[in-house]
Amino acid sequence: MKTVFFGTPDFAVAALDAIMHSTHEVAAVVTVPDRQSGRGRKTTPSAVKQYAVDHQLPLLQPERLRDEEFLRQLAAFQADIFVVVAFRMLPEAVWNMPPHGTFNLHASLLPRYRGAAPINWAIINGDTTTGVTTFLLNHHIDEGAILLQQPTPITPDDNAGTLHDRLAAIGSRLVVDTLDRLADGTLSPQPQQGTPCPAPKIFKDDCRIDFTRTAKATVDFIRGLSPYPAAFMTLLNPHGETVDFKVFEATAITQDGSVPGDIQCDGKHTLKIGVADGFILISGLQMSGKRRNSIEEFLRGTNLSGWKTTF
């Protein structure tokens, strides 16, 4: 099938590459305009743009998806179908353009985790299974008819980063399978079944660790935000100054008699903080303005005697 691919981040590149290595054709790529990012406000292309440039694919970067010139350029490719992976919401003038419509790859088993952060929320909520879904776009976000789904387990060692990479790989194969079956007419879209579950965008204030929760819930929260955007805690040093710490890795310890927020540190190898039913044992963190450290590296350079949590 002749496709136009819409996508932005690394997660989308795997699917684009899979289509490129399939029997289907990528007629063009649509991605966001280059944006300024980082402390130096350097203009950088999206990961999808970089792939398109490297492979000499026709590229469109519209500011407005309803722009008449963009719609004219898009129609000129005469694609059979549009494929969307990690892009923004498309207007009907776009998703209804090709004869086979437009399908999206979503990083959950819909209708669970509709929204911007399905990978994070699946781990935060303690799920043991997730997956990927291809579905047809319609007027509502993540509510279109399902084409194909592929489940995968969430292991206790997974964090948002490892799960992201695995779902990108599984999803790339599912995208090609979806194109294959749409091309040969063996795929029938099915309405979503089950209770919807939201996965809203995560902001910084959502990432603060709450030490009044259980050890497992706290560790799931840390895993679900690691390595990005990263859970954080705020500590008060003996001088009365507050310092933020990103926490990337922790282990749950269930134990009676713990006090939420209580810091226990041996000054060399161990940093434990009390939660509702025990402690979390922190093994990887980053002080604000510093680089990421293992707990041993961190404790060699920082004395936490007299520090307290604030939450």
For 105-156, how does the pLDDT look when each residue is reduced to its tens digit (9 = 90+)? 999 999 999 999 999 999 999 999 999 999 999 999 999 999 999 999 999 9
Band of the pLDDT at 311, cuts 50, 70, 90? confident
pLDDT tens digits for range 108-119: 999 999 999 999
Whose structure tokens read 């690394």?
10
Contact 68, 54 (CB under 8 A): no
- Residue type, position 143, single letter: E
SS3 302: coil
CA-only gyration radius of the chain, Å? 23
Instruction: Please give the residue that has the higher pLDDT: either 182 or 267.
Output: 182
Of 250, 253, 243, whose CA–CA distance to 274 is shortest? 253
- How far, in Å, CA of 105 to CA of 282, rounded? 35
Band of the pLDDT at 274, cuts 50, 70, 90? very high
| Residue 35, pLDDT score | 84
| Residue 40, pLDDT score | 66
- How far, in Å, CA of 191 to CA of 283, rounded? 44
Contact 179, 19 (CB under 8 A): yes
Percent of the chain with pLDDT over 90: 96
Band of the pLDDT at 230, cuts 50, 70, 90? very high
Indicate the average pLDDT of the chain: 96
| Residue 43, pLDDT score | 85
Backbone dihedral region for residue 295 (phi beyond 0: left; psi -120 to 50: alpha; all else: beta): alpha
**Over residues 39-53, mean pLDDT:** 89
Band of the pLDDT at 36, cuts 50, 70, 90? confident
Band of the pLDDT at 174, cuts 50, 70, 90? very high
> And the tokens for 281?
């044992």
| Residue 310, pLDDT score | 92
| Residue 39, pLDDT score | 64
Q: Which residues contact 36 (CB under 8 A, 6 or more apart)?
A: 42, 43, 44
